Amino acid sequence: MAERHTKTILYDADGNRTDDERLAVRGEVVAVDDAGRVVARHPQLDWEVDPTSLEGDEGELATRPRHEER
């Protein structure tokens, strides 16, 4: 039986795949087989950078309040 490995496929702001974690704004978690083919997707584990965290200077990022709708 083939081994499965979990990996994250990273995407940049233009929607293109990237290996550069600094450019990644979205990630898709998948299971791949030994040949590197995607054999399962795990959409519940996918992630996306919060757009508000990309605005402002570095000092604001850690202290920016959340404005969540209730």
Q: Please state the domain extents for the chain.
A: 5-61
Q: Is the dihedral of CA 40, 13, 23, 26 positive or negative?
A: negative
**Which residue in 28, 25, 27, 35 sits closest to 5, CA to CA?**
35
Please indicate, yes or no, whether the overall pTM of this predicted structure exceeds 0.75.
Answer: no
Burial of 30 per CB tally in 10 Å (0-12, 13-18, 19+): buried
Residue 67, both tokens? 């404005």
Q: Tens-of-pLDDT digits for all 70 residues of the chain?
A: 668 899 999 999 999 999 999 999 999 999 999 998 999 999 999 999 987 776 655 555 555 556 666 5
